[in-house]
Amino acid sequence: MTDTFTLAPFLDPTAFAIVGGGTLLATVLRTAFADLGRAIAALPTLTRRRFDATPLVDQIAALGRIARRHGVVALDRSVIADPDLAAAIAAIVDGRAPAEVEELLRHARRARIDRHVAAADVWAGMAELAPAMGMVGTLVGLVAMFVKMQDPSAIGTAMAVALLATLYGALLANLVAAPIAARLRRQARGEAMERLRLEAPLVALAIREQPRPATFAKLAEVDAA
């Protein structure tokens, strides 16, 4: 009868606690709580499709048609889910200069990139910490093994902790944390490039809907009357 392969020898709660708990504790100690929250909240985005700005570009075109027919104030009643687009439209309705609208969009895009990079950096940091925690577990196991040299039955358990801690650290770094960090960075770059497509049509809308000097003159005449 041939022996069947089993994962039982590769499962050790002590080694897992040292590597997993140590990596988590070190990550918490070195990371701001806001960035930790972003890193956890970013996990569901890994299964989403690549960000595509085409629906937002189409919405900007539709908003432009509404402004042309009913006036720019009518855009206040429009439902806009995207926060960057909503902020830009609000600035246009308020009569902000096109340059201000453009700067608002750039600032929002940079802030979004910073948030995404911060989340990716948390996972990249875990990828760096996990092998180090694996080495810590290896040293703990070796110390336990040397302490129990006179008890042959206990040497195997201590050696298992030493070897499996290194294995867990490598797996956690290279199969979990590093791939997550790489995918988050790739998504951040893709979304940043796509959001560049929003600037030109929104600035054009701001130029078209900018209050005319004649409008201000007419308002002044009404106030004077």
Question: Is residue 225's pLDDT more than 70?
Answer: no
Q: pLDDT (tens digit, 9 = 90+) per residue, 111-135?
A: 999 999 999 999 999 999 999 999 9
Number of H-type helices and E-type strands within the chain:
10, 0
Q: pLDDT (tens digit, 9 = 90+) per residue, 168-205?
A: 999 999 999 999 999 999 999 999 999 999 999 999 99
In this prediction, residue 215 carries a pLDDT of: 45
pTM score, whole prediction = 0.81
Structure tokens at 169: 């650290």
Cα separation, 212 vs 195, whole angstroms: 29
Give the CA distances from residue 62 to residues 65, 80, 94, 96, in Å, rounded to whole numbers and listed in that order. 5, 12, 19, 20
Question: Is residue 216's pLDDT more than 60?
Answer: no
Q: Are 89 and 80 in contact (CB under 8 A)?
A: yes
